[in-house]
Structure 1
Amino acid sequence: MSYIHFDKAQLINLNYSLDREIIRTNRSGTYTSTTIIGCNTRKYHGLLVVPQPQINTENHVLLSTVHETVIQHGASFNLGISKYPGNYSPRGHKYLKDFDSEPIPKLTYRVGGVLLQKEMILDTNRDRVMLRYTLLEAHSPTTLRISPFLAFRGYHSLSKENGDINKDFKKVPNGASFQLYDVYDPLYLQISKKAEFVYKPDWFRNVEYILERERGYDYQEDLFVPGYFEFSIEKGESVIFSAGLTEADPKTRQSAFQKEIERRIPRNNFENCLKNSAGQFIRLRDGDTRVIAGYPWFGWWGRDTFVSLPGLTLPTGDYKTFLAVMDTMSKDLQGPLFPNVGSGVNFNMNSIDAPLWYFWAMQQYILYTQDSKTIKKRYLDKMKGIIDGFKNGTDFNIHVQENGLVYGGEE
């Protein structure tokens, strides 16, 4: 049993389970987030939420959720759950037996004589989520059906039924790819074994996110379901559903899933929990290494980066990542100031203390490593530029006074 565990009594109580959320990230800036029963309650929830830099600097929800259906003797049992006006449908949470978090999120469903386990993991460096289904018990032939709910929208937005989407799909090995709008990357949905894709496009309208309603925001959206994947599964067999921005090799999904588990830091003590959490904020993409100020909705911010970076990297000996982040941030320097709140083109430059935290972070590196030579070689010119900019005065009336103190601020 993991250190975070929920039993059936807790899971079927929606007032309890919908208040408990999962969020996991990877090094490419992709994340997956939902509640412990798989019912999304925020517009920021999604199984695959990814950067789309060709559009903007925000993350985008491509795959909102999936609904699984267990079929035996012609009878169907839908394990999914979504909120609609006035009710939840389907009510698959009633089949839940328990939830474990270690080493990865794992749900176990009991449907009559069927015991089905569902595990979820992100590829460390790729924009891909994998779901592993294992049939633990079954007394008769069993079929599993997976219906993907597609959003293809920015995570601050909501999707609505429209005639502009591209409903077509392309066949790929053991699956299909979808690209609802031309500006987006294609989404590849694949199964680790031979599976049938049944094309049955439809909109599921007025899906509700209860936490957005509580916050006073728009809270209803329409999600596009292009059809479903269907395959047989035998007792003891594991089948993987993969969703990513690049085509995967179905034959390697089992080994890829296992390798990802082995890469996880076991959260079996306090120190390992800290190490595990620290790694979730580092993002390496397009040659830049950044610290995300917080998931799901923050970007990379100057002050937050320099305050947190030493603690996220130096105690674990990850000096390479420390320097990679400082290199990336140094490229953002404009005059003596760093971008602070925001990301990409949506930021402000009025943080008087971010350049000072830049110096402080360098000091922490030297204290840990005794390596002042690297700092001088890489950053001394940048540091001199900051000092000169503060002494000579810069934007927002930031300057050094005669008494040596830094002053800033305008009416």
Structure 2
Amino acid sequence: MVDDDSLPALRFGPQVCGALDHPAGGGSREWLVADGTGGYATGTVAGLRTRRYHGLLVVAGPDGSRTMGLTALDAALTLSSGAEVKLATHEWESGAHAPAGHRYLERFELVGGLPRWRWRIGEVVLERELAMLHGSPSLAVVHRLVSAPSAVTLSLTALVAWRPADEIRRAGDPPRVTQVADGVTVEDAFRLAGPGWRSRGEWWQGAFLREEMARGLPATEDLWCAGGFTTTLAPGEVAEVSAWAGDLSRRPPRATVVLGVARRRARAVVAAAKPTDRTDALLALAADQFVVKGPDVIAGYPWHGTWTRDSMASYEGLFLGTGRAVEGAALLHRQAGKIAGRRVDDVLAPEEGVDGPLWFVHAVDRHVHATGDTHLASELLGTLDAVIAGYEGPEHTFRAEVDPADNLLAIGHADAAATWMNARRDGLPVTPRDGKPVELNALWVNALSAVARLRERCGADAADLWSRHDLAHRSFGKRFGAPTGWLYDVVDAPPGAYPLGGDEHHDDPVLRPNQLFAYALPYAPIDPAEPRAVRAVGAALLTSLGLRSLAPSEYGYRGSYGGPEPDRDEAYHQGTVWPHLIGAYVDACRSAGLPSTGLLTGLETHLEEWGLGSISEVADGDAPHQAGGCPFSARSVAELIRARARLSR
């Protein structure tokens, strides 16, 4: 457990580690180690489990599901005096913290993305470090006795499960645990190995999960104590525990070896990104967490999956901004196959939306622009043409249809929640955007230009595309300019679709950030020479952690994101801050010639505040903008990477 000065580190002392109830304390700051398959280990600095998702071995299935395996590995020391000191921390529905091992935490570190805890009991100092074997559901946990007057006994109690990661377990039929050499198997699904296993077998009832309560969800669960490992350690000695799924007969490398492999891989990830400072290095490691084998992109941890919109909108930052263009090209081929196989009668998941294919076009264009890879462009040209055709004609495969009168895209009432503002309550859209949404049409105009340019680059004819682009470009300029000085959020909205819409088709001038894409995209449909609209967006929506999804002065604004799911759905796009929007705002400011210095300071600082080394999915619209949603968000990280690169040019 030697420090590696070549890797970026985050460090916290006992005042943070020991604070369970402070919003910036060790009970609120979370860490994540991803295994490159969609599985992970995650928890809090203090060691307190606050979510149903917190565990040390969460295994990804081939269908994208995740299953909780090793819930916790509770450490305790028996000193030479015979006194036992428990180092784990649990909270119970009674309100008690027992044990309360966070009181002994001297330091927590995240070095190269790998967590390390250091407990001190007088002269006795114990460290724990963990890593996962990349590309495999395999966990390595190493304890080292750093100092002690004499040998101590280390006990590690294993709390196990085999349940869906987004569910909780109640006492009843316990997991099936079978003892094998140097450990056990659980449900024949995963295996634990370490020194001196002793079976136990009992329910610990009433564990309290405070973040679940805050989200209005069931907040207590029961934990199965399967047994534990016991060994004697002299100063300088280590104890290793491994946990893995898959082929249980094939033991992974020793835990200390896995740690070394993980450190070397972290150095390679950072080096490939060519960082200019510590923040660049942290962001490169953060981006790596979301890229999984396939390749594919996890939209956010601990509960989001893989979605076309998020993976393609994150592409430029996650891949081109971190030196992963070769891997990125493989992802684009993979996405092309998914898009080619999509049918008009496919069920449209809210997370996918009508704009995913347009973000795919954008990602291919940016890849070719950055790498000069015309061979890739030629290979994907058929899919790019199919995307454009998929929005035209009677089938409009992607659930948005070109209006032949102006060549702009319109979505109907059935898909009113099919943009990125996709929250529903009681089955109805919270933020209906049927009609012609501004960002969807900015992406459409951008895509027509991008495909035309790529066709020309590949030696193909693009005259028809340019003709359609020119019509859509002119129509956009005529239709979206609002008398307020900014752009309409939706034009040609159907009767009754919006709070102030009345009984006729109308244009909605509500002040939202969606219009930024009309200025920010590479082939933006609006000339930003007049910065009035961008100034209006910044004045009303800009915060230290990104942009609000609705101006506070607008009807329906919600300044707090939290509480039960219906309340969260109401607030999701009605004022909640989205960090990923900072990328479009930076682009719009640069295009409009507006100042952009200091726009990223709050988000760069946020790397040390909540999801450690990463950026949250959302935050409250009202100050101080408490973070919410997924603590680790792919698009938030990707757009901060891209925005930093944009500002450095």
State the match for 2:327 in structure 1: 321
Per the TM alignment, residue 289 of structure 1 is displaced from its structure 2 partner at its CA by 1.6
Distance in 1, Cα, partners of 2:345 & 2:42: 28
Aligned with 2:310 (options 299, 304, 308): 304
Q: Does 2:70 match 1:68?
A: no
- 1:239 partner SS: strand
Q: Which moved more, 1:107-116 or 1:390-399?
A: 390-399
Aligned equivalents of 2:351, 2:118: Cα separation in 1: 49
Residue 137 of structure 1 aligns with which residue? 147
Q: CA deviation at 1:297?
A: 1.1
1:295 paired residue among 301, 308, 311: 301
Q: Does 1:408 align with 2:411?
A: yes
Higher Rg? 2
Q: Does 1:373 align with 2:375?
A: yes
Q: Is the aligned partner of 1:178 residue 2:181?
A: no
2:359 to 344, 357, 360: 357
2:47: which partner in 1?
Answer: 38
Aligned mates of 1:339, 1:240 — CA distance in 2? 52
Structure 1 SS opposite 2:381: helix
Q: What is the deviation of 1:336? A: 6.1
> Which one-letter code corresponds to 1:321 in the other structure?
E
CA positional deviation for 1:226? 0.9
Q: 1:163 aligns with which of 170, 173, 181?
A: 173
* Number of matched pairs: 391
Compute the displacement of 1:346 (Å): 8.8
The alpha carbon displacement at 1:251 in A equals 6.8
Any idea what SS the aligned residue of 2:295 has?
Answer: strand
Contact residue 34 and residue 41 of structure 2 kept, 8 A? yes
Contact 2:109 2:115 in 1 (8 A): yes
Is residue 275 from structure 1 mapped to residue 284 from structure 2 by the alignment? yes
Which residue of structure 2 lines up, in the alignment, with residue 204 of structure 1? 204
Question: How far, CA to CA, are the matches of 1:164 and 1:226 in structure 2?
Answer: 9
Distance 1:206 1:312, change over 3 A: same
CA drift of 1:213 comes to: 0.9
**Structure 1 residues 63 and 107, CA gap change in structure 2 (3 angstroms):** same
> Is the Cα contact below 8 Å between 2:155 and 2:228 reproduced in 1?
yes
TM alignment of 1:228-243, pairs within 5 A: 228-243=228-243
SS at match of 1:188: strand
Q: Deviations over 1:232-262 (max 9, x none)?
A: 1121112221111144647733223212222
Q: Equivalent residue for 1:259? A: 261
Contact 1:397 1:410 in 2 (8 A): no
Give, in whole Å, the separation in 1 of the partners of 2:348 and 2:71: 26
User: Which residue number in structure 2 is paired with residue 94 of structure 1?
Assistant: 103
Task: Give me the whole-angstrom Cα distance separating, in 1, the residues matched to 2:374 and 2:149.
Answer: 67
**TM-score (norm: length of structure 2):** 0.57
Q: 8 Å contact 1:352–1:398 — kept in the other structure? A: yes
Q: Secondary structure at the match of 1:271?
A: helix
Counterparts of 1:397 and 1:7, CA distance in 2: 52
Aligned position for 2:389: 388
CA distance in 2: counterparts of 1:290 and 1:396, whole angstroms: 21
Whole-angstrom CA distance in 2 between matches of 1:119 and 1:407: 53
Q: SS in structure 2 opposite 1:101?
A: strand
**Structure with greater proportional strand content:** 1
Moved more, 195-204 or 14-23: 14-23
What is the CA–CA distance in structure 2 between the aligned matches of 1:251 and 1:6, rounded to whole Å? 30
SS of the equivalent of 1:384 reads helix
Classify the secondary structure of the residue corresponding to 1:375: helix
The one-letter amino acid paired with 2:241 is F
Task: Give the secondary structure class of the aligned counterpart of 2:391.
Answer: helix
Structure-1-length-normalised TM-score: 0.88
Supply the RMSD in Å over aligned alpha carbons.
2.5
Structure 2 Cα separation of the partners of residues 28 and 336 of structure 1: 24
Amino acid of the residue matched to residue 230 of structure 1? T
Contact 1:79 1:95 in 2 (8 A): yes
Answer 1 or 2: which has greater helix percent.
2
Consecutive unaligned residues of structure 1, counting only runs of 5 or more, are 180-184
CA distance in 2, matches of 1:115, 1:214: 35
Structure 1 vs Structure 2: percent identity of aligned residues? 25
Compared with structure 1, are the counterparts of its residues 237 and 335 closer, same or farther at alpha carbon in structure 2 (3 Å cutoff)? Answer: closer
In the alignment, which residue of structure 1 is the partner of 2:159?
Answer: 149
Report the 3-state secondary structure (helix = DSSP H, G, I; strand = E; otherwise coil) of the residue aligned with 1:211: helix
Q: Which runs of 5+ in 2 are unaligned?
A: 415-649
Q: Deviations over 1:389-411 (max 9, x none)?
A: 22213257632222322222235
**Cα distance between partner residues in 2 of 1:126 and 1:57:** 15
